[in-house]
Structure 1
């Protein structure tokens, strides 16, 4: 999974083409059977030199979906600008099939696609970068239902943060389908997701705080001030009642310069009476350990003098 925060434009795509008897707009029938072309779906081809990428797999899957179906889920979200959706599983290596809704057509089963036969209303289909895909709200709905709760929330956070999906609009969309498959799962995801998370690891840390620790949800990435109102930092997670800061230190924090800045920031926060706890990737894979350390920080925070404020 990518850690992209803002909207991103899809990379280059080579659109599959049908056989052309003249060999101008596509391969001749003979050329299509040779080594220079690769069939992407029945009747459509691309040159064998075409690079493999998430975007290329999407445009080829769209050829399978035809003019009655649409790509959805992570693939549609990527077309809408969600850079987190790179077509890879959580391990960063496994290639995920492209989800498609067949709509009123029929899509043949193939390892490169995951076919849904759910209803596809016309008003939930748009054309983005020349590809038929579902609207952003429908795409996120399909995507979160494909994941367990915590990873589903990660995907919602990543779609909300850059504005690819509007959280309020998604709530309206969910309210319009009360009896749909796994609608309860999607509603829980909506309630847990926020618009201010800045990384998947931060989301997972927040979910441990809420789901495993059972504590009120912290604020995400708010500005902390000193007693004079001067901004001193922006912690990942902040308990504004007790004064506990929790930070997720991802790969970017491994450099010497960044680590030095992190230590200075911790010193500043502690000097204002905030309790501080930092966690890494392996930590969020061990929720009981995280809960134990957060609980200890909360106990210490109860004994400190508050000399800080915050700005939403």
Structure 2
């Protein structure tokens, strides 16, 4: 498929902001919002720009680029499976489910999307090399095919360089055009494993932050700082994709460059969060891991708060 035009990437994760600062450093400031900061932003209201949203049944295809251990792939795949899983009636004292986190998207216009796990594609030989541009990410997503009714998630391994990974972002979501006449729109995203390159930026709070108070990091719920950190990015990107897929849905800021459903609440994981503190969380009594949601098979995750359009507040699970 050929693209009708090249989409302009916009950062969704700019984590070089010092926790104690009140503004982004110069490198980040050039990108403006659509960023995930490590600090709580000022109260905002996401405006509905009335563009098309992704609703109904959608498939999420995972393209693992580089070497991922089977356990790492399972962490990500189980998260996607858990997002729209049928959940039993919540019991008193039971931990929130991943599905209950995703249900916040049903409060947006159109009623949200129900996600299912689709294809899992392995590119362990790194067909485009170990160093990628964002145009390469678009190429990988396009080559994966099967875009109608689907979101393609390109996930890069810890030793794969994606410019400018860490300098300004940990992941992005975007859209492009393809098909025989270049008219079909499809959505895709990229998230990187931050274990080696920038854990202090993109794996917080499972790693000490690059700036700000150097409090002890939390224990990752699946014992993998990189994979658990990547799930945080993936969760935020999926929420942004369905509520602002083409840059004219729910966002605040410049056209195509606004804070979105989860980025508006970045750094907030539980109630009482403040800069440098992710908020009240649940703790596994055996491993000491911190989490706020449970998926299929009892797998635990830490997921970002999501902006609730009915209250204009960041909704947390705990």
- TM-score normalised by the chain length of structure 1: 0.26
> Relative contact order, CA 8 A, sep 6+: which one is greater?
2
- TM-score normalised by the chain length of structure 2: 0.25
